[in-house]
Structure formats: C-alpha cells, structure tokens
Structure 1
Amino acid sequence: MHILETTASPALIVFIAVLLGGGAIGCASPGAEPGATRASASGQAGDWTRLFDGDSLDGWRNPYDWGEAWVENDEIRLRADDKFFLVTEETYGDFVFEGSVKLPDTLSNSGFMFRANVEPNRVFGYQAEVDPTARAFSGGLYDEGRRGWLSPREGEASGEEFRTTVGQAFNPTEWNQYRIRAEGDSLEIWVNGEQTTAYRDAKDARGVVGIQHHGEDGKVYRFKDLRIRRLGSGERASSASAPPNTLTEAEKEAGWELLFDGTSFDGWAALGAEAIPEEHWKVVREGGGGAIKKMESDNVPTAPDGQPLEGGDIMTDRTYRDYELKWQWKLAKGSNSGVKYNVSEKRSTASEPTRAALGFEYQILDDERHSDAEDPTHRASALYDLIRPNPEKKNLRPPGEWNQSRLVFDGRHGEHWLNGEKVLEYDLDSDRFAELFAESKYADVEDFAEKRSGHIVLQDHSDTVWYRDLKIRER
C-alpha cells in the first residue's frame, strides 16, 4: 500500500471530484473515441496516457494541509474531514479523459476536476459532478470555487429536466465511468456512456485534472482506470481554431448536422420569393472559412419596424420542431438582425411585408450603438419583444468579433445562450410567458406562439451581418 498523507491529522476525509470536457447532449459510447484501444505513456497527441499506474501516486499531489490519499487494490482512495482535491502534477489543455468512481453511499458527493487551477489549500475551476443524492446532478458541469452551477441550473426548469432524464445515468451503488472531452471552448461530459452535458465556456483553457473528497468524515472515496488522451495533431485542437462550417467527430457522434456548408446556399431559400436576392445576401470568405453575409441595403423602403419591404429573409428548406441550434455571428457597427424560429412561411407571407418572417426571434444587435437597445427585450440575445437577456450572464463581444450563440427549442421549453452562458429560458405554457406575450407587439397575431414544425430564418434588417458555423441537432 502506497500512502500520500499531509502533516495534518490522518482522520481528515475529503470527497473526490473529477471534471472533464466532452461533447453535446446525447448518447455516445465511452469506447467510441478514435484510438481508445491504445494505452501509452508517451503523452503524445492521439495516444492514451494512464494517469494512475495502479501501484503508486506518482504524478499526483495534494495541495492541501489536510486529507489522505493512498493506493489499494488498483484504486486511488481518499479520506478526509474537510473538502480537498488530489490533482495531477501535469496540466492539460484539449483532451479526452476517462475515469471511474465509486462512492460509499447516497449522502456523499464528489467530482472530476479538469482544466483546474491550484493554489495552496485551494483548487477551483471546471468540475464534472458526481452526485448520488436525490438531486441527481451527476454529469452536470460545476464551476468549483467561482460561479457555481453552469449546467444544469439549480431551481430552474433545466435542473428538473436534467434530474429526470440524463441525471439518471449514474448508479449510486456501483462503479460509474465518466468521459470528459475539453476541446477549445467546448466542454462535454458522459456518464456510463450517456452524454449529460454539452456546454461552451472559455474561462479556462488549461489546468490540472483532479479528484475530489467532499469532506464527509470517515468515508472512503474510490477512483480507478484514470487515463487521458491529448487532442492535437490529426485532430482539431480546439473549436476556436478548427475550420468553421465543419463537424468534429464528437459532434457527428452526437447527431449534429451542418445547415451551411461554407460555400453555397444549398439548403436555404428565400422566404416569399423564388430566389435569394444576390444584392442582399452573399456567401463570402471570412477568416479562413465561408460565411453568409447580409449586405447593407441603403435607402430601401422599410416597414414601421425597420425591415425592408424588398430583399427579405432567407430560411432553411427544411422545417424543424424540437432541436438544439448553434451558430456564430458578427456585426458591423450599429447593425441589427436576428435568427428567427418556429416560422411558418405561409403565415409569414399572408400579410405585409411578405418577405419578413413571423416567428420567435433570437435578437442580433449592436447594443452599444443601435437605438433599439433602449428596450431591454430588443437587445442582443433577447427573445425579441418578449424576454430580455439576463445582464449578469451576458457577455456580448464588440462589432467585428465573432459571437457564439445557442438555442434550445424542445417541447414547450426554450433557451437562449450567448458565448457559453444561458441568458434566458421560458416555457410556453407558463403564466409568466402568457403575461409577457400579452404585453408584446405579437399579442394580436393569431397563433403566433403556437408550437409548430417551422423554418429557421436569418433576418434581413438592411444592416451588415455575418453568419457561419450553423449547426442543428434534432431531439
């Protein structure tokens, strides 16, 4: 038995937490990663490296003045009476991690830390939650020592949905296998082969891996089969540096599809017109990849809300009902646009302007310069004219820089995300939504809020806007 112990009392017990980054919510086999059959000590990109050799704690350290860690039966075991983390000596940036954990009872708590930061008696950063309690947040993403829950959010509808669906992948009485994929700002987690979290956040790009003891005195937490595979040559090292308008292997596994191929308008059509007007919309080369550019349209006739009477919105050929959508966008200074969804072309073209979509809108706006931002429900990432984004969660990048947006529209529930943060969510059947809708410009539009299989639309609001990396996954 090899024991790593600090000078503090050996009775101190700590709960283990391991955090790692992965893909998008869905199902994927932990063994499906390319090269997963190889184990190597080389640490080169593409090779699996064992983080624990089964015999010793070589490569690990305890940055706390308390807590006990030792090796027994090819496992790392932790014990403490206050929370602590055992962490790797080496740091990692983009990688796939796998490891197994077993907790002593359903009153415990742990996690896998990844890209974590270390100070004396403190570890903080991303954590893949291990939660055997009735809360059932195992596989969620927690920001230890900083922002708290990133996904799901406690006390919100997303938390209850998580608890009753993917949160059930964890078995409180058995060994549980975790897989974490961290690639650029994409953080994904799987539990026992079921994907539980797909989140975008750029707070930390590199850090240590760690396992947590939560501090329940006398309890022993067990970890084994810890290994990591760096992402580098032969695989895109990060979503930020990857060519836009392409799918990673993890996205393909999770069921994502491209809506824009980077070179053409294949899969797109003009709303209410025979062809996409070339003087308004173009496919251009932008930053090493293709983008859909809305050209500025000066001095064209407009409706009272500013939309042009000629030119018009463009829409997907297909309609979608329940899905997750993500895309990148940037603006010229002072610009206004939007991504609309739940759109019926027939209803949209039944009244003037006949080339403007009627539907829910994820607002795209230069908040600093456009007068529309005077109304909080008209600001970037808002559900236009209905729900304002949470200003504490919103991180809008300036004109000329790419923003990353995500939209969830599943059943009667909707969410808007901006640059890795959920800025609003709603339920179509809630009393609050009914109140907001009654106060909106759409209150008298028949069946506006009726859920349907609808088109996804890029809005023509006369201003210059770029869109790329449009991807969808049906639910």
Structure 2
Amino acid sequence: MISRSIALLLLFLTNAVFAQELKPIFDGKTFKGWEQRGEAIWEIDDRVITGRTGKGGHGWLCTDRTYGDFILELEVKIESGNAGVQIRSHFEEGDKMVGYQVEVDPSARAWSGGLYEQGRRGWLQNLTNNPAARAAFKANDWNRYRIECRGDSFRTWINDVPATDYRDSLDVEGIIALQVHSGKNHKVQFRNIRIADLGKRKWEPLWDGATFNGWEKIGAGDWTIKDGMLIGTHAQNVKPFGHLISEKRFNDFTVRLKYKALAGNSGVYFRTDKGGGSGVVGFQAEVDATKDAGGLYETGGRAWVVQPDPKNLHKYFKTNDWNSMTVSAHGSRIAVDVNGFRTAEVINDPSRREGHFAFQLHGSQDLEVYFKDIEILSAPDQKPSAKKIKPSVQITEQPEKLRVELDGVLFTEYHFGSVPRPVLYPVFGPGQVSMTRDWPMRESTGEERDHPHHRGLWFTHGNVNGVDFWSEQKQFGKIVHDKFTKISSGKEGVIQSENKWISADGKLICRDKRTLRIHGTGNPRILDFDVTMVASEGDLVIGDTKEGSMAIRVNESMRVKPNSFNQGKLAGRLVQDTEVTGADTWGKRAAWTDYSGPVMGQTVGIAIFDHPKNPRHPTWWHVRDYGLFAANPFGVHDFEKKSKGEGDFKIPAGKSATFRYRFIFHEGDEKQANVTELYQSYSKEKLSAAK
C-alpha cells in the first residue's frame, strides 16, 4: 500500500503541476516559433492569427518544437466550415498530418472540443453523449479552449464546460498545430495562445528483456527467454495454471507490449494478487489465439467485465502475428487497446485499485505465447516549480458576478445581479466535472425542466415572516445583493456580502451577512458557506416549512431516480452519517448527507456538513431522489408530522443567528472520499467570528 506521506507528496506534486503558469507561445505580432505547412493562408492582425483556405487543401500553423504533457489555453472564433487544434502530432510523407486533433466545429453537429485522430483512426471521442459541451460552443464568437495532456489522459473544456475525457497513448509527444480545413472560403481565428509545459514522458522497460529479475514464476507451464522475447508454453495434460508475476505492486499506470499467440489462452494480469484456484485473482486483458483478444476479465470476481464482440475481431486482431496491446488503469477507469482499437473500457469500476502484473499460462491447454517490448509510461521529466505557482484561489469581479478560479480554472461564479437571489453556478468538482444542473441558468439538453427555482447552489427559505423566498413567481420575495464587504484571493478565497430580503410589495423583511470561503483546490474542493440572519427590521420568524434552505441542485446524471433521458443508466447514491440511504433520507436528521453519482463517466459526489454548533443540529434534510439537496433546520411540521409552526425559529429584533455549512465536492462515493473523517475534522475546527 502507498504510505500516507507518499500520497500527500503525490497530491502536492499533482496540485503544483496543475498550478503551472501559462506562458504565451504566440507573441501577438510575428510567427516566431511557428512554421506554416500545407495550403492555407495565415495572417496576423491586432494580436489575432487568421487562417484562410488557399488552394483548397488542409493548412497548418505548427509549433517549431514538440510537447509531451501540457496545459494549453487559447481562444477560437469561426463562423462556418471546420478547423481544429492538433496536439502530439507529426508529419508523414510530406505534409500528411498524423496525430490527435481537438475539434473546432460550428455546425449543427456541434462536436467542438471532441477528440479526433487525424490521418489514422478518426474519431476517438465525439460529443454525441455530452449535450452540455455541444451547447457550450458559440459560432462566430470567441470561445475559450482548455486542453490538458498528461500521460495518456486527454481532457478538453469549451468555455469552461468539460468536453472530452479520453485515454490513449499511441503518441505521448508531438507538435501543436492550428488547422484550416480543406474546402472553400474557410476562415478561423486564434488568439491568446498560452501553454504550461509539464515535461515529457518516455516508455521505460517493465521487463528487462533478458532475465527474470523482478519476476516470480508460480504454478505450472514453462517460461523461457530468447532474443528479447518472453516465451510461455503449457501442455493440455497439465491442469494447473502458470503465471509470471511481478514482485512490485502498481496502482495507476499505462503499459504497452507486443504479443503473439500461436495456440491456447493467455492473458496480461494487472491489479492482481496471488490466490484463488488458478493461482491469481485480479483483472486480465485477454490474450487468445482465436477469440476475445483484448477483452477484460476478472478472475476471482465478476468473470467477464467486457467481452469483445466477435464480429469486430477481424478489424483489429492479427492471427499468428505480433499484436500491440495497451492497458491503462487510472483510478476507477480501465481501458484496453489492441492495435489501436479500443477493445474494452470501464469508466466507473468500483473494485480493485492496485496489485501486481502477471502473465498467464492457462491450464489444461496446449499453449504457446510470446511477449516482447513490455514497457510502462514514466512520470514526466519536468518537475513542478513552486515559483510558478500562483495563488490557489483567484476571485475576479465581473458585471453582476464574481468569477472564482482554482489554480487557473473555473470553480464557480457567484451571481448577484439579475437573479432572484445570489446563486453559485456553475460549480465544478475535481477534474472539472460539473456538479450542478444547468437549467434554468443555461439551456442544456438532457435535463428535466422541473422546479425553475432550483438554481445552482443557494441559500433561501420558503417562509420568512410569512413571505416565501423559495419560489420565484412575482408574488414571492427576493434576496437582493446590497454590497460586498470583502473579496480576497490567495491560499483561500473569501467572499463576504450583505443582502436584503425584500417582499414582493417592496418591504424590507430582514438582512443577512454571508461569508463564503473556498479552499482545497485538488480533491476534494471545499466551500464553506456561513450565513447570519439579522432581525434588522423587528422580530424575525423563519417559518416551519420544508421549502428551504441551504441547497444545491445536483447534476442530472447524479440523480438517484434517473430522469427520462437517463433511463436504464447507472443511478446516483444518497447516504447520511446515520446510514440512512436513498429516498429515505428525506426529512431525516443527520450531521451530514452525501449525494454521489456518475457524471461524464466517473463517480463524483457532494457532501453537505451541518456544523455541530448550528442551531438545531443535527439538521433535517430536504433531499430528493430527483436531485434537490438541501439542509433545512426549520421544517419540523413536514419532516416530523408535528403541528404547524412547531419548527418556527424566532430571532428577536436586533439580534442574529448564524448557520454554518461546508460543501465537499469530491471524487468517488462517500467511502472513497473519506467523508466521515472529513466531517470529524470539520467539527473540530475553530470557528471564525461571524461577520
């Protein structure tokens, strides 16, 4: 197991890399550092690069050096046609571009930000199943692209909306190039091109090609070495399995190798341990002479996790010949490729996270298999420099909102202008995964249109001195931003504001003071939301109703009860510290509740903590299987089936009451995120004075 100290070091290095400073690679005036290839016409005007079709063929503006791992940001504008941003690419046969391309697509198809491979396999990940990203691109306007390449990981964002999340390692280094697509009258513009160079990786031997050093033979069968090849044989009359297992254990990795299966069944095991009837238990990437090549099998577990369609075998497998295989396992995501064809992929696997590598000789079979060039992808050669790290949290004032960035990427925006109440939207969790429903803040496909007052993340209540501030019709009250008393960036970000609660007829009901603290820039991301209700206009009664109070509407794909667009798909999970789960969490008292589920192929979650010093701790929860998630210490009548008004909370004139909550935006479910331990830590923190 990885020690806690090493894990913390890795977390620091990861965050440090993430915070690398982005530097311009276009000086705004010249093509210094770039070279033109192909038939496009390139011009510079007012710090903007414009590319136009020339004779009709593709055109490229290429960096004069290669990059491996990097973060690239740029802005793109296109009205029609097609373009792209090549990454980790190279030229073959003159001006034939080969490599990955991030799409620029203003058409109705709207696949901007998708990942395409120019000159080889074509589409690797389009945006058919990502309606939010498809809606993010604005034709004939400037669009912000963010592209991250780390190892075999490719991730893209369009205007802060996650687009692509894919793993592939056919190329780990190459040039960056701006594309003008072939055709007539195409025009595309680029500006503000910046990059953080995170170093280069290389393939290193996992097996030395000459000895069995670092490996152990177990079970039956024979292993020999010849001319850099690992040769395994087995006989049909011998029942026990045989394995060659690594002495080291591995967690996250990308491994590639070549194999030739002449007879029988074999496999490449990973995240594996000794044991079970066949000698090992764990995942196996299938190696077979006639079928199932590249399938994913779990020995000692589920058996077939992904069994390839036999109809596809001819597309990628070479019988009695060398085949290349790549196995990528990072967290809950596993992918297997054979000769560049994705044969198995599991996006959200809940099981094994580390173990040994092993090569299998199947029992009771005549078997002959060859392996060579067994390599593992290294860490980048460039280490993060602390001098390059900017303040972790940066808050920028914009018209009617504050933009909050964590290490240079959007975390959330605090809207306080043309909204019925201050709202945080969007909210991005670790890995820039969207945690909130888009509608009604932004139109998006694949979402239900229920409860239009459920906007992002907010605090309000449905009965304050008899006025409903929960709903949004004209007859209901509004919370109006008055002023900011503090906005600060740094290791943590702080937003302090004062707000007025005003009824539909214009009467001031009360005031509040809020302090938002943003910290924890990695996994998890943390938001502390403290609100002080002030009885500024006389006695204040926060009424007994379920409609409140500290709330968030989670991403639609996280719902415990899938919406009409996600029927049959993996559903979300609700759990409280009292071990109550699912829809039964509604109306129950608990110190914390966690809402987790799948978003963009990975499990993420949100925990809300009720501070132990809060009035009426532990709070009740107005949490629904359709995505509403709210802490409500006032709705006793609805939650406990008691007399109306029993939950009324009274604040005498001139006095105040403070309610403190913490939001944890995390990867995995509540157990993987250690929510129990995080709450215990929160409950012991020294309280800051209410402002």
State the TM-score, normalized to the length of structure 1. 0.50
Report which structure shows greater RCO (CA 8 Å, sep ≥6). Answer: 1
More strand by share: 2
